[in-house]
A and B are shown apart, each in its own frame.
Chain A
Amino acid sequence: MEQAATDLTRLAGHELAARIASGDVSSVEATQAHLDRIAAVDGELHAFLHVNDGALEQARAIDERRARGEQLHELAGSPVAIKDVLCTIGMPSTSGSRILEGWVPPYDATVVARLKAAGLVALGKTNMDEFAMGSSTEHSAYGPTRNPWDPERIPGGSGGGSAAAVAAFEAPFAVGSDTGGSIRQPAAVTGTVGVKPTYGGVSRYGAIALASSLDQVGPVTRTVLDSALIHDVIGGHDPHDSTSLDREWPSFTAAAREGAASGSLAGLRVGVVKELDSEGIAPDVQARFQETVQVLTDAGAEVVEVSCPSFEYSVAAYYLILPAEASSNLARFDSVRFGLRVEQQGQTVEDVMAASREAGFGPEVKRRIILGTYALSAGYYDAYYGSAQKVRTLIQRDFDAAFEQVDLLISPAAPTTAFKLGEKINDPLAMYVNDITTIPANLAGIPGMGLPMGLGDDGMPVGLQLLAPMFEDERLYRAGATIEALLAERWGGILTSRAPALRDAASGGSSGTSTNGAAA
């Protein structure tokens, strides 16, 4: 029984889904296995802020529908973990903030509604930096999430909870949100796969907004195919989101399957962005990246260097646009209609609002709200916010020029492996420059994928980033699945299969620890 449960959590998402679809495994069994795994390891990891106590009931309902012979979605009955940034009926949705502690929305985010409609079973809500402001999940009001590969290290952020959950086999599928890398960077440092879709490819309705013009919801999984499966469920036009793209998307699942099967990158032109392959990148990350470039070349890809000179200004532009939009988006947390209220007898509503926001927001949130308020305030708008929006145009032009030469761009997904908890918490600037590799895609709106490319000198995962032109998410899945297959062939399995198993009482403790560069 315990053995079977362990096996189910170790399956790739698509394998588990196939076994549920065939009737080999019930949704209740699959869900129970993951709930057991959460019970066993999450005390240490803290990937979840809330575990869905209705999960088994939902699983049972799916099993009953299947038993009645209903035609169900291929993922029906599979468990999924949901980043706490998404509104969920019946489960608290806090965005990692004290100011929303215990708040249960009266509506589902479109992404959540679509997962439900496809019959996926929500395991619970995953931890995140407060309002998705951060790169380490240390800024969660409810305490940090730890990296399953080494609990002393951060799991990346802001979506550290979703990445850690799939890396630690607590969930086969998860969803996250990516404003400046919050899906791709956690994927990189936890050895998992994550995709930021083209802006507008996935609905933002019901995703608690950080920066409206940058936010995108996307999949977080252990394999490229699994991400494609989730993307196909959650993507597509939503009339509740004005910025949602009203267009036909190809099947990303089909693209991933074809890519994995082909084993070849012949004819693919790949660009290495000069500006993302420089100073700040750690030597071991650099080494894995060079090895990966060689793997691509061996598989027939033509790899060239391209230049995106304006990327140099992307972090600066990002740290103006994000705080500006966030300062406005977060104004609604005023203690009037929902959320924390801190009140003393005789106070005016103005005082109550200010006291509630003082008590409900953490230091990073306050820092960015004040910065954003500054960037928008009279006399500074043109110099800061206005200039940042122009930089955005320049970055888009850089991408346009690059994609005239190549089909895909590649770079390390993060400059270093996971750092230690607390290492950068008091140095916002050091934390900010960490996002250099992922930010340009958000500013330009283009799709990006993070996937594993080996281990660093410290035995921690190193991630590769793929970037495609706007609307060409399919290319990420096709090429990503090929690269994943080529690397897995070299490694003898996908990277997460080597993740240390944590102190897992249920598994019997197969604590295989990799030490050196897996790809070496």
Chain B
Amino acid sequence: MSEITREQVQHLAGLARIALTDDEVTSLTTELSQIVDAIATVREVAGDDVPATSHPVPMANVLRADEAGETLTHAEAFAGAPSHDGERFRVSAILGEEQ
């Protein structure tokens, strides 16, 4: 039985930037525990000798020539923007610092 706690769900919601309601935290705590129990079986299957597959078709060195292509116009860039000043996207005050 996995033990997903409310605090854990709240922490995950913070990492995922979603302002969950208390009710959502409650239901997700239960659901997540159930789901994690159901999928925890993957831990038992493969040993250290099994390599991980992150990509279904093994390929490498897919590279692009360094040649400039098309750019978006301001009209295209800002058409879907919630807020902008005609040159830049606008956001409300930032609390945190850059990484």
* Direct A/B contact, Cβ within 8 angstroms: yes
B1 interface hit (Cβ, 8 Å):
no
Judging by beta carbons under 8 Å apart, are B19 and A386 in contact? no
B68 interface hit (Cβ, 8 Å):
no
Closest B residue to A343 by beta carbon equals B92
Residues of chain A contacted by B15 (CB below 8 angstroms): 373, 377
Judging by beta carbons under 8 Å apart, are B92 and A348 in contact? yes
For the side of the interface on B, what is the size category?
A: 35 or more
Q: Given A317, A358, A387, A432, which contacts B18 in the complex, CB threshold below 8 Å?
A: A358
Q: 1/0 contact trace for A353-396 toward B, CB 8 Å? A: 11101100101001101110110010000011011111111101
Residues of chain B contacted by A213 (CB below 8 angstroms): 54-56
User: Shortest CB–CB separation between residue A224 and chain B, in angstroms?
Assistant: 24
Question: B21, B24, B45, B94: which has the most chain A beta carbons within 10 Å?
Answer: B45
Judging by beta carbons under 8 Å apart, are B12 and A389 in contact? no
A428 interface hit (Cβ, 8 Å):
yes
A445 interface hit (Cβ, 8 Å):
yes
User: Shortest CB–CB separation between residue A361 and chain B, in angstroms?
Assistant: 7
Given contacts A343-B92, A358-B20, A370-B28, contact A394 B50 (CB under 8 A): yes
Assembly CA distance A327 to B16 (angstroms): 7
Judging by beta carbons under 8 Å apart, are A392 and B53 in contact? yes
Assembly CA distance A353 to B19 (angstroms): 9
Interface of B is mostly: loop
Given contacts A349-B94, A445-B57, contact A361 B18 (CB under 8 A): yes
Give B17-39 interface residues, CB cut-off 8 Å to A: 17-21, 24, 28, 31-32, 34-36, 38-39
Give A388-416 interface residues, CB cut-off 8 Å to B: 388-394, 396
Give B41-79 interface residues, CB cut-off 8 Å to A: 41-43, 45-46, 50-57, 59, 62, 64, 72, 76-77, 79
Given contacts A243-B59, A366-B24, contact A349 B19 (CB under 8 A): no
Judging by beta carbons under 8 Å apart, are B39 and A390 in contact? no
Residues of chain B contacted by A428 (CB below 8 angstroms): 31, 35
Judging by beta carbons under 8 Å apart, are A243 and B36 in contact? no
Residues of chain B contacted by A23 (CB below 8 angstroms): none
Judging by beta carbons under 8 Å apart, are A350 and B54 in contact? no
Q: Which of A127-135, A332-340, A455-463, A473-481 contacts B (4 or more CB under 8 A)?
A: A332-340
Question: B31, B76, B91, B94: which has the most chain A beta carbons within 10 Å?
Answer: B91
B80 interface hit (Cβ, 8 Å):
yes
User: Shortest CB–CB separation between residue A77 and chain B, in angstroms?
Assistant: 29
A295 interface hit (Cβ, 8 Å):
no
Given contacts A369-B18, A373-B12, A374-B36, contact A348 B42 (CB under 8 A): no
Given contacts A337-B80, A366-B20, contact A387 B31 (CB under 8 A): no
Assembly CA distance A373 to B46 (angstroms): 22
Judging by beta carbons under 8 Å apart, are B57 and A239 in contact? no
17 A-B Cβ contacts within 8 A? A104-B80, A213-B54, A245-B57, A317-B39, A317-B42, A327-B16, A336-B82, A348-B95, A350-B94, A351-B19, A354-B19, A367-B28, A387-B46, A390-B42, A391-B42, A429-B35, A470-B57
Interface of B toward A, CB cutoff 8 Å: 4, 8-9, 12-13, 15-21, 24, 28, 31-32, 34-36, 38-43, 45-46, 50-57, 59, 62, 64, 72, 76-77, 79-83, 89, 91-96
Please provide the 6 A-B residue pairs with the shortest distance between their CB atoms, ordered closest to farther. Answer: A445-B56, A390-B46, A389-B52, A106-B76, A341-B82, A316-B39
Known: A200-B57, A394-B45, A394-B50. 9 other contacts (CB 8 A): A106-B76, A316-B38, A339-B80, A343-B92, A354-B18, A357-B19, A366-B28, A383-B43, A386-B52
